[in-house]
Structure 1
Amino acid sequence: MAVIDRVLIGEGLVIEDRPDGSGLDLKNVAHIDLIMGPRGSAAEDAFCRTLTDQKQGVNGLLAIAAPNMMVKPNTVMFNKVTIKDGRQATQMFGPAQRGVAMAVMDCVADGTIPLEEADDVFICVGVFIDSKADMDDRIQDWNYRATKIAIKAAVAREPKAADVVKQYKEALHPFAAKTPEAQNRRSEDKAAALAISQMQERSKHAQGALAAKTKEDAESALAVSQMQDRINTTRV
Protein backbone atom coordinates (compact mmCIF):
# COMPACT_ATOMS: atom_id res chain seq x y z
CA MET A 1 0.00 0.00 0.00
CA ALA A 2 1.35 3.41 -1.00
CA VAL A 3 2.18 5.84 1.79
CA ILE A 4 1.39 8.91 -0.32
CA ASP A 5 -1.91 7.75 -1.79
CA ARG A 6 -3.84 11.05 -1.80
CA VAL A 7 -3.36 14.81 -1.59
CA LEU A 8 -1.64 15.64 1.71
CA ILE A 9 -1.25 19.01 3.41
CA GLY A 10 1.61 20.21 5.62
CA GLU A 11 2.72 23.41 7.34
CA GLY A 12 5.87 24.41 9.16
CA LEU A 13 7.21 27.55 10.84
CA VAL A 14 10.69 28.17 12.22
CA ILE A 15 11.78 31.27 14.10
CA GLU A 16 14.34 32.05 16.80
CA ASP A 17 15.74 35.15 18.49
CA ARG A 18 17.91 37.66 16.66
CA PRO A 19 21.65 37.04 17.20
CA ASP A 20 21.92 40.26 19.22
CA GLY A 21 19.18 39.12 21.62
CA SER A 22 16.84 41.97 20.64
CA GLY A 23 13.83 39.67 20.28
CA LEU A 24 12.34 37.33 17.72
CA ASP A 25 13.98 37.37 14.29
CA LEU A 26 10.91 38.47 12.35
CA LYS A 27 13.04 39.38 9.34
CA ASN A 28 14.19 35.84 8.61
CA VAL A 29 11.24 33.77 9.84
CA ALA A 30 10.53 30.77 7.61
CA HIS A 31 6.95 29.65 7.00
CA ILE A 32 6.11 26.81 4.63
CA ASP A 33 2.70 25.81 3.23
CA LEU A 34 2.85 22.54 1.33
CA ILE A 35 0.69 20.17 -0.68
CA MET A 36 1.85 16.81 -2.00
CA GLY A 37 0.23 13.89 -3.72
CA PRO A 38 0.66 11.05 -6.23
CA ARG A 39 0.66 11.18 -10.02
CA GLY A 40 -2.85 11.83 -11.29
CA SER A 41 -3.93 13.76 -8.20
CA ALA A 42 -4.79 17.44 -7.80
CA ALA A 43 -1.23 17.92 -6.50
CA GLU A 44 0.14 17.11 -9.97
CA ASP A 45 -2.29 19.60 -11.53
CA ALA A 46 -1.23 22.27 -9.02
CA PHE A 47 2.43 21.50 -9.75
CA CYS A 48 1.96 22.07 -13.49
CA ARG A 49 -0.04 25.28 -13.01
CA THR A 50 2.46 26.71 -10.52
CA LEU A 51 5.44 26.02 -12.77
CA THR A 52 3.87 27.44 -15.93
CA ASP A 53 1.76 30.34 -14.62
CA GLN A 54 4.52 32.90 -14.14
CA LYS A 55 3.60 36.48 -13.18
CA GLN A 56 5.61 39.58 -12.40
CA GLY A 57 6.84 39.25 -8.84
CA VAL A 58 5.34 35.79 -8.35
CA ASN A 59 7.38 32.91 -9.72
CA GLY A 60 7.34 29.13 -9.71
CA LEU A 61 10.70 27.41 -9.71
CA LEU A 62 11.87 23.83 -9.42
CA ALA A 63 13.65 22.80 -6.25
CA ILE A 64 17.14 21.67 -7.20
CA ALA A 65 19.94 20.24 -5.08
CA ALA A 66 22.45 21.62 -7.59
CA PRO A 67 22.34 22.85 -11.19
CA ASN A 68 20.98 20.11 -13.46
CA MET A 69 19.94 18.03 -10.42
CA MET A 70 16.25 18.58 -9.66
CA VAL A 71 15.03 16.79 -6.57
CA LYS A 72 12.71 13.81 -6.45
CA PRO A 73 9.82 13.91 -5.76
CA ASN A 74 9.33 16.68 -8.32
CA THR A 75 9.01 19.85 -6.24
CA VAL A 76 7.93 23.32 -7.31
CA MET A 77 8.37 26.35 -5.07
CA PHE A 78 6.41 29.60 -5.18
CA ASN A 79 6.91 32.82 -3.26
CA LYS A 80 4.28 34.18 -0.86
CA VAL A 81 5.81 37.67 -0.77
CA THR A 82 6.02 39.61 -4.04
CA ILE A 83 9.58 39.73 -5.37
CA LYS A 84 10.45 43.34 -6.18
CA ASP A 85 14.22 43.38 -6.62
CA GLY A 86 17.25 41.27 -7.43
CA ARG A 87 18.15 40.73 -3.78
CA GLN A 88 14.82 39.04 -3.07
CA ALA A 89 15.10 36.96 -6.24
CA THR A 90 18.58 35.81 -5.24
CA GLN A 91 17.32 34.79 -1.79
CA MET A 92 14.52 32.72 -3.34
CA PHE A 93 16.65 31.13 -6.06
CA GLY A 94 19.62 30.64 -3.71
CA PRO A 95 19.38 29.83 0.01
CA ALA A 96 15.62 29.17 0.06
CA GLN A 97 15.80 26.87 -2.96
CA ARG A 98 18.74 24.98 -1.48
CA GLY A 99 17.02 24.61 1.90
CA VAL A 100 13.78 23.28 0.45
CA ALA A 101 15.60 20.93 -1.93
CA MET A 102 17.76 19.40 0.79
CA ALA A 103 14.73 18.93 3.05
CA VAL A 104 12.88 17.02 0.33
CA MET A 105 15.85 14.76 -0.39
CA ASP A 106 16.55 14.14 3.30
CA CYS A 107 12.91 13.06 3.69
CA VAL A 108 13.47 10.51 0.93
CA ALA A 109 16.78 9.40 2.43
CA ASP A 110 15.26 8.85 5.89
CA GLY A 111 12.23 6.99 4.53
CA THR A 112 9.57 9.59 5.27
CA ILE A 113 8.85 9.59 1.54
CA PRO A 114 9.36 6.01 0.30
CA LEU A 115 12.06 5.81 -2.37
CA GLU A 116 9.87 3.59 -4.53
CA GLU A 117 7.18 6.30 -4.61
CA ALA A 118 9.44 9.32 -5.10
CA ASP A 119 9.34 9.33 -8.91
CA ASP A 120 5.54 9.54 -8.93
CA VAL A 121 4.87 12.16 -6.24
CA PHE A 122 4.48 15.91 -6.76
CA ILE A 123 5.12 18.59 -4.13
CA CYS A 124 4.18 22.28 -4.15
CA VAL A 125 5.92 24.46 -1.57
CA GLY A 126 4.86 28.00 -0.66
CA VAL A 127 7.86 29.91 0.72
CA PHE A 128 7.67 33.04 2.88
CA ILE A 129 10.70 35.33 2.78
CA ASP A 130 10.20 38.74 4.37
CA SER A 131 11.19 41.67 2.17
CA LYS A 132 13.62 42.73 4.94
CA ALA A 133 15.31 39.30 5.29
CA ASP A 134 19.01 39.87 5.88
CA MET A 135 20.66 36.55 6.80
CA ASP A 136 21.07 34.02 3.98
CA ASP A 137 22.26 31.29 6.34
CA ARG A 138 19.04 31.54 8.34
CA ILE A 139 16.91 31.66 5.19
CA GLN A 140 18.50 28.40 4.06
CA ASP A 141 18.53 26.59 7.41
CA TRP A 142 15.10 27.71 8.58
CA ASN A 143 13.40 26.92 5.27
CA TYR A 144 15.09 23.53 5.36
CA ARG A 145 13.74 22.86 8.84
CA ALA A 146 10.28 24.26 8.10
CA THR A 147 9.98 22.16 4.93
CA LYS A 148 10.92 18.98 6.82
CA ILE A 149 8.35 19.79 9.50
CA ALA A 150 5.69 20.29 6.81
CA ILE A 151 6.52 17.09 4.91
CA LYS A 152 6.64 14.91 8.01
CA ALA A 153 3.35 16.34 9.28
CA ALA A 154 1.72 15.80 5.88
CA VAL A 155 2.84 12.19 5.57
CA ALA A 156 1.80 11.46 9.17
CA ARG A 157 -1.61 13.09 8.51
CA GLU A 158 -0.96 15.44 11.42
CA PRO A 159 -2.48 17.21 13.20
CA LYS A 160 -5.65 15.18 13.71
CA ALA A 161 -8.92 17.09 14.01
CA ALA A 162 -9.53 15.73 17.51
CA ASP A 163 -6.15 17.05 18.66
CA VAL A 164 -6.81 20.49 17.20
CA VAL A 165 -10.19 20.67 18.93
CA LYS A 166 -8.51 19.91 22.26
CA GLN A 167 -5.66 22.38 21.86
CA TYR A 168 -6.66 25.31 19.66
CA LYS A 169 -8.04 27.59 22.39
CA GLU A 170 -4.90 27.32 24.52
CA ALA A 171 -2.44 27.29 21.61
CA LEU A 172 -0.52 30.54 21.11
CA HIS A 173 0.37 32.23 17.83
CA PRO A 174 3.69 34.12 17.83
CA PHE A 175 2.30 36.82 15.51
CA ALA A 176 -1.20 37.19 16.93
CA ALA A 177 -2.58 40.65 17.74
CA LYS A 178 -1.47 42.06 21.07
CA THR A 179 -3.84 41.30 23.92
CA PRO A 180 -4.56 43.44 27.00
CA GLU A 181 -2.55 40.93 29.02
CA ALA A 182 0.55 41.59 26.93
CA GLN A 183 1.49 44.86 28.61
CA ASN A 184 5.17 44.83 27.85
CA ARG A 185 7.69 43.34 25.47
CA ARG A 186 8.87 40.75 27.95
CA SER A 187 5.41 39.22 28.29
CA GLU A 188 4.98 39.24 24.52
CA ASP A 189 8.32 37.50 24.01
CA LYS A 190 7.41 34.98 26.70
CA ALA A 191 4.14 34.21 24.92
CA ALA A 192 5.95 33.92 21.59
CA ALA A 193 8.55 31.59 23.11
CA LEU A 194 5.76 29.42 24.49
CA ALA A 195 4.08 29.37 21.08
CA ILE A 196 7.33 28.25 19.47
CA SER A 197 7.74 25.55 22.13
CA GLN A 198 4.23 24.32 21.39
CA MET A 199 5.03 24.19 17.66
CA GLN A 200 8.15 22.15 18.35
CA GLU A 201 6.17 19.70 20.51
CA ARG A 202 3.58 19.28 17.75
CA SER A 203 6.39 18.63 15.28
CA LYS A 204 7.84 15.92 17.55
CA HIS A 205 4.37 14.39 17.90
CA ALA A 206 3.98 14.29 14.12
CA GLN A 207 7.35 12.58 13.73
CA GLY A 208 6.40 10.03 16.39
CA ALA A 209 3.10 9.34 14.66
CA LEU A 210 4.93 8.85 11.37
CA ALA A 211 7.34 6.37 12.96
CA ALA A 212 4.42 4.43 14.44
CA LYS A 213 2.65 4.37 11.08
CA THR A 214 5.80 3.07 9.38
CA LYS A 215 6.11 0.29 11.98
CA GLU A 216 2.44 -0.62 11.55
CA ASP A 217 2.83 -0.81 7.76
CA ALA A 218 5.88 -3.07 8.16
CA GLU A 219 4.00 -5.39 10.52
CA SER A 220 1.07 -5.56 8.09
CA ALA A 221 3.41 -6.43 5.23
CA LEU A 222 5.00 -9.20 7.33
CA ALA A 223 1.58 -10.62 8.20
CA VAL A 224 0.57 -10.69 4.53
CA SER A 225 3.85 -12.42 3.64
CA GLN A 226 3.35 -15.07 6.34
CA MET A 227 -0.21 -15.68 5.18
CA GLN A 228 0.97 -16.13 1.60
CA ASP A 229 3.62 -18.62 2.76
CA ARG A 230 0.95 -20.66 4.56
CA ILE A 231 -1.22 -20.66 1.44
CA ASN A 232 1.70 -21.82 -0.71
CA THR A 233 2.54 -24.58 1.81
CA THR A 234 -1.06 -25.80 1.80
CA ARG A 235 -1.09 -25.95 -2.00
CA VAL A 236 2.06 -28.09 -2.00
Structure 2
Amino acid sequence: MGLQHFTRFFDSPYFFTTIKNTFVLSLYSLIAGFPIPILLALILNSFRHKKYRKVIQTVTYAPNFISTVVMCGMLLLFLSPSVGIINNVIEFFGGNSINFMAEKSYWRHIYVWSGVWQGMGWSSVIYFAALSSVSPELHEAAIVDGATKFQIVRYIDFPSIIPTATILLILSCGSILSVGFEKVFLLQNDLNLSVSQVISTYVYKVGLIDNNISYSSAIGLFNSAINAVLLIVVNKISKKLSGISLW
Protein backbone atom coordinates (compact mmCIF):
# COMPACT_ATOMS: atom_id res chain seq x y z
CA MET A 1 0.00 0.00 0.00
CA GLY A 2 3.00 2.32 0.37
CA LEU A 3 2.11 5.61 2.07
CA GLN A 4 -1.56 5.55 1.05
CA HIS A 5 -2.93 5.10 4.57
CA PHE A 6 -0.63 7.80 5.96
CA THR A 7 -1.79 10.21 3.27
CA ARG A 8 -5.38 9.32 4.02
CA PHE A 9 -4.84 10.12 7.70
CA PHE A 10 -3.12 13.44 6.92
CA ASP A 11 -5.97 14.43 4.62
CA SER A 12 -8.65 13.30 7.07
CA PRO A 13 -10.84 16.02 8.63
CA TYR A 14 -10.11 14.40 12.00
CA PHE A 15 -6.31 14.72 11.68
CA PHE A 16 -5.79 18.19 13.11
CA THR A 17 -8.40 17.81 15.86
CA THR A 18 -7.10 14.40 16.94
CA ILE A 19 -3.44 15.48 17.02
CA LYS A 20 -4.31 18.72 18.80
CA ASN A 21 -6.44 17.00 21.46
CA THR A 22 -3.78 14.34 22.05
CA PHE A 23 -0.95 16.85 22.34
CA VAL A 24 -2.86 19.32 24.54
CA LEU A 25 -4.14 16.60 26.89
CA SER A 26 -0.74 14.94 27.21
CA LEU A 27 1.14 18.22 27.65
CA TYR A 28 -1.39 19.41 30.24
CA SER A 29 -1.02 16.12 32.12
CA LEU A 30 2.78 16.43 32.02
CA ILE A 31 2.84 20.04 33.24
CA ALA A 32 0.31 19.40 36.02
CA GLY A 33 1.37 15.91 37.03
CA PHE A 34 5.16 15.95 36.79
CA PRO A 35 6.13 18.43 39.55
CA ILE A 36 3.52 17.38 42.13
CA PRO A 37 5.12 13.97 43.02
CA ILE A 38 8.44 15.78 43.43
CA LEU A 39 6.90 18.32 45.81
CA LEU A 40 5.09 15.56 47.70
CA ALA A 41 8.31 13.57 48.13
CA LEU A 42 10.26 16.64 49.29
CA ILE A 43 7.57 17.69 51.77
CA LEU A 44 7.11 14.23 53.26
CA ASN A 45 10.85 13.63 53.40
CA SER A 46 11.22 16.76 55.54
CA PHE A 47 8.71 15.41 58.09
CA ARG A 48 10.38 14.29 61.29
CA HIS A 49 7.31 12.44 62.61
CA LYS A 50 7.57 9.07 60.88
CA LYS A 51 4.13 7.97 62.04
CA TYR A 52 2.33 10.88 60.35
CA ARG A 53 4.51 10.51 57.28
CA LYS A 54 3.54 6.85 56.88
CA VAL A 55 -0.14 7.70 57.24
CA ILE A 56 0.07 10.42 54.57
CA GLN A 57 2.05 8.11 52.27
CA THR A 58 -0.56 5.38 52.63
CA VAL A 59 -3.40 7.82 51.89
CA THR A 60 -1.66 9.18 48.79
CA TYR A 61 -0.65 5.71 47.54
CA ALA A 62 -4.15 4.22 47.89
CA PRO A 63 -5.83 5.85 44.82
CA ASN A 64 -3.25 4.22 42.54
CA PHE A 65 -4.78 0.82 43.28
CA ILE A 66 -8.25 1.89 42.15
CA SER A 67 -8.91 0.47 38.69
CA THR A 68 -9.54 2.85 35.80
CA VAL A 69 -13.11 1.61 35.36
CA VAL A 70 -13.92 2.19 39.04
CA MET A 71 -12.23 5.60 38.97
CA CYS A 72 -14.28 6.71 35.97
CA GLY A 73 -17.45 5.36 37.60
CA MET A 74 -16.67 7.42 40.70
CA LEU A 75 -16.12 10.55 38.61
CA LEU A 76 -19.37 10.08 36.69
CA LEU A 77 -21.24 9.53 39.96
CA PHE A 78 -19.69 12.46 41.84
CA LEU A 79 -20.20 14.84 38.90
CA SER A 80 -23.71 13.69 38.03
CA PRO A 81 -26.07 16.67 37.51
CA SER A 82 -28.85 14.94 39.45
CA VAL A 83 -27.32 12.89 42.29
CA GLY A 84 -23.66 13.99 42.24
CA ILE A 85 -22.22 15.27 45.51
CA ILE A 86 -20.46 18.14 43.71
CA ASN A 87 -23.70 19.50 42.28
CA ASN A 88 -25.46 18.97 45.61
CA VAL A 89 -22.87 21.25 47.22
CA ILE A 90 -23.24 23.81 44.42
CA GLU A 91 -27.03 23.83 44.79
CA PHE A 92 -26.72 24.05 48.59
CA PHE A 93 -24.89 27.36 48.20
CA GLY A 94 -27.47 28.67 45.73
CA GLY A 95 -25.81 27.72 42.44
CA ASN A 96 -27.22 25.88 39.47
CA SER A 97 -26.52 22.24 38.70
CA ILE A 98 -23.79 21.68 36.07
CA ASN A 99 -23.52 18.75 33.70
CA PHE A 100 -19.72 18.58 33.92
CA MET A 101 -19.26 15.71 31.49
CA ALA A 102 -21.25 17.54 28.82
CA GLU A 103 -19.21 20.75 29.14
CA LYS A 104 -16.14 20.76 26.89
CA SER A 105 -14.47 23.41 29.03
CA TYR A 106 -14.42 21.09 32.07
CA TRP A 107 -13.48 17.79 30.45
CA ARG A 108 -9.71 18.21 30.20
CA HIS A 109 -9.46 19.51 33.76
CA ILE A 110 -11.46 16.56 35.07
CA TYR A 111 -9.29 14.08 33.17
CA VAL A 112 -5.95 15.62 34.15
CA TRP A 113 -6.51 16.44 37.82
CA SER A 114 -8.21 13.15 38.60
CA GLY A 115 -5.13 11.49 37.11
CA VAL A 116 -2.83 13.66 39.21
CA TRP A 117 -4.75 12.73 42.36
CA GLN A 118 -4.68 9.04 41.48
CA GLY A 119 -1.01 8.81 40.54
CA MET A 120 0.90 11.39 42.57
CA GLY A 121 1.53 9.11 45.57
CA TRP A 122 2.79 6.20 43.51
CA SER A 123 4.87 8.45 41.25
CA SER A 124 6.62 9.91 44.29
CA VAL A 125 8.04 6.49 45.28
CA ILE A 126 11.03 6.79 42.97
CA TYR A 127 11.84 10.23 44.38
CA PHE A 128 11.73 8.83 47.90
CA ALA A 129 14.25 6.24 46.76
CA ALA A 130 16.50 9.00 45.40
CA LEU A 131 16.17 11.01 48.62
CA SER A 132 17.11 7.98 50.71
CA SER A 133 20.59 8.12 49.16
CA VAL A 134 21.24 11.58 50.62
CA SER A 135 23.76 11.34 53.43
CA PRO A 136 22.29 12.26 56.87
CA GLU A 137 25.60 13.98 57.61
CA LEU A 138 24.69 16.68 55.09
CA HIS A 139 21.46 17.39 56.96
CA GLU A 140 23.24 17.37 60.32
CA ALA A 141 25.89 19.77 59.07
CA ALA A 142 23.23 22.08 57.64
CA ILE A 143 21.31 22.08 60.93
CA VAL A 144 24.48 22.89 62.86
CA ASP A 145 25.10 25.78 60.47
CA GLY A 146 21.60 27.10 61.23
CA ALA A 147 19.84 26.13 58.00
CA THR A 148 16.05 26.10 58.03
CA LYS A 149 13.98 23.17 56.72
CA PHE A 150 13.28 25.08 53.53
CA GLN A 151 16.99 25.71 52.96
CA ILE A 152 17.78 22.04 53.57
CA VAL A 153 15.17 21.03 51.00
CA ARG A 154 16.33 23.67 48.53
CA TYR A 155 20.09 23.16 48.73
CA ILE A 156 20.43 19.48 49.67
CA ASP A 157 17.33 17.40 48.89
CA PHE A 158 16.20 19.04 45.66
CA PRO A 159 19.60 18.93 43.88
CA SER A 160 19.92 15.25 44.81
CA ILE A 161 16.80 14.26 42.83
CA ILE A 162 17.41 16.44 39.75
CA PRO A 163 19.13 13.60 37.80
CA THR A 164 16.23 11.23 38.53
CA ALA A 165 13.66 13.88 37.65
CA THR A 166 15.47 14.66 34.40
CA ILE A 167 15.48 11.03 33.28
CA LEU A 168 11.77 10.67 34.07
CA LEU A 169 11.01 13.90 32.22
CA ILE A 170 12.83 12.61 29.13
CA LEU A 171 10.84 9.37 29.25
CA SER A 172 7.60 11.30 29.71
CA CYS A 173 8.35 13.50 26.70
CA GLY A 174 9.02 10.35 24.68
CA SER A 175 5.43 9.24 25.21
CA ILE A 176 3.75 12.62 24.95
CA LEU A 177 1.38 11.46 22.18
CA SER A 178 0.54 8.17 23.89
CA VAL A 179 -2.51 9.19 25.89
CA GLY A 180 -4.06 6.17 27.58
CA PHE A 181 -7.15 4.67 25.96
CA GLU A 182 -9.28 3.36 28.84
CA LYS A 183 -9.89 6.51 30.85
CA VAL A 184 -10.44 8.73 27.82
CA PHE A 185 -12.88 6.25 26.29
CA LEU A 186 -14.85 5.79 29.51
CA LEU A 187 -15.22 9.54 30.08
CA GLN A 188 -15.95 10.27 26.44
CA ASN A 189 -19.40 11.06 25.07
CA ASP A 190 -20.88 12.78 22.01
CA LEU A 191 -21.07 16.15 23.80
CA ASN A 192 -17.38 16.35 24.67
CA LEU A 193 -16.04 14.46 21.63
CA SER A 194 -14.48 17.59 20.10
CA VAL A 195 -11.96 17.78 22.98
CA SER A 196 -11.79 14.11 24.01
CA GLN A 197 -11.09 12.45 20.66
CA VAL A 198 -7.41 11.40 20.85
CA ILE A 199 -5.25 9.11 18.74
CA SER A 200 -5.85 6.01 20.86
CA THR A 201 -9.66 6.30 20.72
CA TYR A 202 -9.59 7.20 17.03
CA VAL A 203 -7.47 4.10 16.29
CA TYR A 204 -9.94 1.97 18.25
CA LYS A 205 -12.91 3.30 16.32
CA VAL A 206 -11.44 3.00 12.83
CA GLY A 207 -9.59 -0.24 13.57
CA LEU A 208 -12.00 -2.34 15.61
CA ILE A 209 -15.40 -0.74 15.13
CA ASP A 210 -14.99 0.09 11.42
CA ASN A 211 -12.77 -2.98 10.89
CA ASN A 212 -10.13 -0.94 9.04
CA ILE A 213 -7.04 -2.61 10.51
CA SER A 214 -4.50 -1.37 7.94
CA TYR A 215 -5.53 2.26 8.33
CA SER A 216 -5.47 2.11 12.14
CA SER A 217 -2.06 0.39 12.07
CA ALA A 218 -0.66 3.24 9.97
CA ILE A 219 -1.97 5.77 12.50
CA GLY A 220 -0.42 3.79 15.35
CA LEU A 221 2.90 3.65 13.52
CA PHE A 222 2.78 7.40 12.92
CA ASN A 223 2.16 7.93 16.63
CA SER A 224 5.11 5.71 17.58
CA ALA A 225 7.40 7.46 15.09
CA ILE A 226 6.58 10.91 16.47
CA ASN A 227 7.19 9.69 20.03
CA ALA A 228 10.56 8.24 19.02
CA VAL A 229 11.61 11.51 17.40
CA LEU A 230 10.54 13.51 20.47
CA LEU A 231 12.46 11.14 22.75
CA ILE A 232 15.67 11.53 20.73
CA VAL A 233 15.32 15.33 20.51
CA VAL A 234 14.56 15.84 24.21
CA ASN A 235 17.36 13.46 25.18
CA LYS A 236 19.88 15.44 23.09
CA ILE A 237 18.67 18.75 24.51
CA SER A 238 18.95 17.43 28.08
CA LYS A 239 22.44 16.06 27.41
CA LYS A 240 23.58 19.38 26.00
CA LEU A 241 22.08 21.53 28.75
CA SER A 242 22.65 19.42 31.87
CA GLY A 243 24.84 16.49 30.84
CA ILE A 244 22.09 14.07 31.94
CA SER A 245 20.64 11.74 29.31
CA LEU A 246 19.42 8.21 28.65
CA TRP A 247 22.37 7.45 26.42
What is the TM-score with the length of structure 1 in the denominator? 0.25
Of Structure 1 and Structure 2, the greater helix share is in: 2
Larger Rg: 2
Say which structure, 1 or 2, has more relative contact order (CA 8 Å, 6+ apart): 2
